[in-house]
Amino acid sequence: MSGLEARVHVERSAQFRLDVELTIPEGRTVALLGPNGAGKSTAVATLAGLTPLQAGHIKLDGRVLDDPAAARFVPPEERQIGVVFQDYVLFPHLTVAENVAFGLRSGGSTRAEVKSEVVRWLDRFGLGDLAVARPPDLSGGQAQQVALARALITEPKMLLLDEPLAALDVTTRAQLRHELIDHLEGFSGPRLLITHDPTEAFLLADEIYIIEGGRITQVGSADDIRIRPRTSYIADLAGSNLLVGSAAAGIVMVEGFELLVGDTHISGPVLATVHPRAISVHRRHPEGSPRNTWQTEILRIEHYGDRVRLRTGDPLPLTAEVTPVAAEALALSAGSKVWISVKATEIGVEAD
Amino acid sequence: MDRPTVTKRGVSGPPLVIVLLAAVGLAVFVVPLFGLLVQTPWGGLARLLSSDVVLDAIRLSLVSSIAATVISAVVGVPLAWLLARVDFPGRALVRGLVLLPLVLPPVVGGAALLFALGRRGVVGEPLYEMTGLVLPFSTWGVILAATFVSMPFLVITVEGALNSLDRRYEGAAASLGAKRGAVLRRITLPLIRPSLVAGLVLAWARALGEFGATITFAGNLQGRTQTLPLAVFVALESDRDTAIALSLLMVVISLTVLVVLRSRWWRPS
């Protein structure tokens, strides 16, 4: 099959053990989402061929890249996997144009071919004016663009992005996230996005793999993960509701629905996050309640451990979390009519 | 006490004790130089430095120190790379062997070279029988002695730089299709260039000043093995003015090279 199929097993010590399975079809983006130290960067290093596997296999478009059992190992320079490294790792002694040209020069293109391709790619990324600049003089956003252009120019078979937005400030991050979505769509091979930021994973990936302590604890779409988080880490960090809307004067419009938010200064496109535990569920219209109050229906209800997750319906579908005691007291089940309320200050808002 | 005074005291300069001790440290370097300058026969300098003995010594010193630096670069950089990058058995021992000339008295190094490479030496005898090459008491012997004492400076500097280099630069280059040789040439060596230059300068300076191993292994033959330090040593007994002139010359050459290189390439990064 085309795309990536991998089982990555690396054991570095009794404390560190990475054992994950990844399948990424062509044209799909998978996010590997997890806390720092979960083994994400080691996964990148093994796929790129910078760290050999101890067990398992890596197969890209049917070609075996690493298989310790068969004593097969394709070195990094022959893998054709484009990597955008964490902090970008631009070559500090080369100019922007030389950085972007690096892969083509390694590939044996003629000088003239390299030059015209580099000009084309620099223009595509709006980096034309920075051709002779050096990496230490670039802003974080510019460095990320150079790193992406440097990886894509060689037309790799797969793209690995290790925390591509983590080093950026909030405003630049929102802008580059949009551009990254475009670049990912323009790339036909499998893409793997490594991130610790659930928002990034939800917005950029088709499928999310959650990694904790070197193991995959859940695989699914953003909705799957919100309604049925398998671990408390997932529930706490990856389980938030993410709403895309636009803000003005303390109100965020989400598909025609008005939400009051604490931040009255922000305006324009925004991402709003609401943690499921910040949502209150009532049987009757709550009195003296927050102004974000509306009536809806419970679509699904999932019990897991000491928590219960609800999926609510129109006008604003959300995932809410209550204790089993509360669920019982309110006699909640699929189809129940309930009132939902959210305090304005519990809604996180950032520029999109 | 009001605040501005405290702030001012806080930035009022380094502690006196440190300044005094540093001044004593500097004096260790400056006083001998001063002695040399005071004793220099400035009027006869040109004549003293244009004698055959002196010109031979200058030529030989330059040739042998530069040759030793080139040899150190050609074989020392790969050695440093192996020590930094390959975890082979006995690496600690190899590292110790490479650094040994730094602590060994040069005269002992010269004697060891003689036992190994002398005409009756373990390696020297077969070498002579096969090629007719005799290392002791030849210019090649001078170069070898200089390489022996100077290469550790290059290896230790380059190995340190390789160890502290972020390996991800090389990984990024490999992921972009660069083969190992290209990674070394286009990424690794340019990135460690400041340390590489520093190591080469240190090695060259050590080779230029080499005395003990040279006189033991290569002897003291004018035009063939008598380098500047050896010429100074001989002149001290017979012709004090020449000795001083030669010493001053070495100071000027060394200082010029160090200052020029430091300002051009060898900036601390």
Report residues of chain A scoring pLDDT below 50.
none
**Residue in A302, A318, A351, A345 with CA at minimum distance from that of residue A242:** A318
Lowest mean pLDDT among A69-78, A270-279, B74-83, B212-221: A270-279
Residues A228, A250 within the same domain:
no
pLDDT digits (tens, 9 = 90+) for A207-265: 999 998 889 988 998 878 877 777 777 777 767 788 888 888 888 888 888 888 888 88
Of A81, A91, A151, the CB nearest to B187: A91
Contact predicate B141/B218, CB 8 Å: yes
> From the list B174, B176, B187, which residue is nearest A150 (CB)?
B176
Same domain for A196 and A245, yes or no, is: no
Residue identified by tokens 């310790």 is: A68
- Contacts with A45 from chain B: Cβ below 8 Å: 171
What residues form DSSP beta bridges with A32? Answer: A194, A209
Is residue A172 assigned to a domain? yes
Please state, in angstroms and as integers, the Cα–Cα distance from residue A148 to each residue in A46, A75, A100, B52, B69, following that order. Answer: 20, 22, 9, 65, 42
A48 with A197, same domain: the answer is yes
DSSP conformation class of B121: S
DSSP state of A285: P
Percent composition of chain A: helix, strand, coil (DSSP 3-state, to 5): 30, 35, 35
- What backbone torsions phi and psi does residue A275 show, to the nearest 5 degrees? -75, 140
Of A195, A211, A238, the residue at which a domain comes to its end is A238
The domains located in chain B, with CATH, are 49-264 (1.10.3720.10)
Confidence of residue B264 (pLDDT cuts 50, 70, 90): low
CA-based nearest distance B69→chain A, Å = 25
Give me the number of domains chain A comprises. Answer: 2
Residues in B closer than 8 angstroms to A82, CB to CB, are 175
Which stretch of DSSP H or E encloses residue A6? strand A4-11
Tell me the nearest-neighbour CA distance from A74 into chain B, angstroms.
11
Q: What is the DSSP string of A88-157?
A: ----TTS-HHHHHHHHHHHTT--HHHHHHHHHHHHHHTT-GGGTT--GGGS-HHHHHHHHHHHHHTT--S
- Is residue A291 situated within a structural domain? yes
Alpha carbons B197 and B102: distance in angstroms, whole number = 19
Is A95 inside any structural domain?
A: no
Nearest partner of B114 among B92, B143, B145, judged by Cα: B145
pLDDT value for B4: 47
Amino acid symbol at A113: E
The pLDDT of residue B84 is 94
Residue B269 confidence (pLDDT): 45
CA atoms of A262 and A8, how far apart (whole Å)? 44
Q: Looking at residue A146, which CATH number applies to its domain?
A: 3.40.50.300
Decide if A211 contacts A39 (C-beta within 8 A): yes
Does residue A336 lie within any of the structural domains?
Answer: yes
Measured distance CA(A118)–CA(A162) in Å, rounded: 23
Pick the range with the lowest mean pLDDT from A255-269, B101-115, B182-196.
A255-269
| Distance between start and end Cα atoms, chain A | 36
Cα separation, A57 vs A7, whole angstroms: 5
In this predicted structure, the answer to whether residue B166 has a pLDDT above a threshold of 70 is yes
**Quick one: tokens of A157?**
């078979």
CB proximity list for A48: less than 8 A, separation 6 or greater: A76, A79, A81, A83, A160, B171, B175
Judged by CB atoms closer than 8 Å, whether chains meet at B177 and A154 is answered as yes
Q: Is residue A116 part of a domain?
A: no
Binding-site residues on chain A for chain B (CB distance < 8 A): 45, 48-50, 75-83, 85, 89, 91-93, 102-103, 106-107, 150-151, 154
Tracing tokens 């990024």 back to the chain, one arrives at: B172
Q: What is the pLDDT of residue B6?
A: 47
Residues A339 and A273 in one domain: yes
A44 neighbors A220 (Cβ within 8 angstroms): no
Strand (E) or helix (H) holding A217: strand A215-220
Decide which of A186, A203, A238 is a domain's last residue.
A238
According to DSSP, residue B131 is labeled H
Residues A219, A209 contacting (CB under 8 angstroms)? yes
Pairwise CA distance, residues B167 & B155, whole Å:
19
What the block records as the tokens of A314 is: 């129109």
- Report whether pLDDT(B10) > 60: no
Region B90-95: what's the mean pLDDT? 93
- pLDDT 10s digits, B117-152: 988 889 988 988 888 888 889 999 999 999 999 999
Same domain, A66 and A165: yes
SS3 B241: helix
Give me A177's structure tokens. 């996230």
Angle, CA of A90, A33 and A141, to the nearest 5°? 30
- Are B171 and A151 within 8 A, CB to CB? no
Largest Cα–Cα distance of chain A, in whole Å?
75
Inter-chain residue contact B173 with A49, CB threshold 8 Å: no
The mean pLDDT value of chain B amounts to 89
For B172, the closest of A75, A80, A83 (CB atoms) is A83
CA-based nearest residue in chain B for residue A91: B169
- Residue A226 shares a structural domain with residue A318: no
Instruction: Tell whether A205 and A332 lie within a shared domain.
Output: no
Q: Which of the listed residues A208, A238, A268 is the one where a domain comes to its end? A: A238
Q: Do B168 and A154 touch (CB under 8 A)?
A: no
Cβ(B191)–Cβ(B182) below 8 Å: no
Other beta carbons within 10 angstroms of residue A318's beta carbon come to 17
> Does the pLDDT value for residue B7 go beyond 50?
no
pLDDT (0 to 100) of residue A341: 86
Question: How far apart are the CA of B49 and the nearest CA of chain A, in angstroms?
Answer: 44
For residue A178, being part of any structural domain is answered with yes
Both A173 and A37 in one domain: the answer is yes
Token pair, residue A119, equals 């000009």
Q: For residue A43, tell me if it sits in a domain.
A: yes
The DSSP string of A298-318 is: EEEEEEETTEEEEEE-TTS--
CATH number (domain holding residue A280): 2.40.50.100
- Which amino acid is it at B213? A
A272/A248 same-domain check: yes
Please, are residues A188 and A177 in contact by the beta-carbon 8 Å criterion? no
Provide the domain limits for residue A214: 4-90+138-238
A83 and A221 both lie in a single domain: yes
- Listed in sequence order, the residues at least 6 apart from B133 whose beta carbon sits closer than 8 Å to its beta carbon are B127, B140
Are residues A67 and A160 both part of a single domain? yes
Q: Is residue A98 part of a domain?
A: no
Q: Which residues fall within 8 angstroms of residue B46, CB to CB, at 6 or more apart?
A: none
Residue A233 and residue A257 share a domain: no
pLDDT in tens, B227-239: 999 999 999 998 8
Q: How far is CA B107 from CA B110, B113, B169, B214, B217, in A?
A: 5, 10, 43, 8, 9
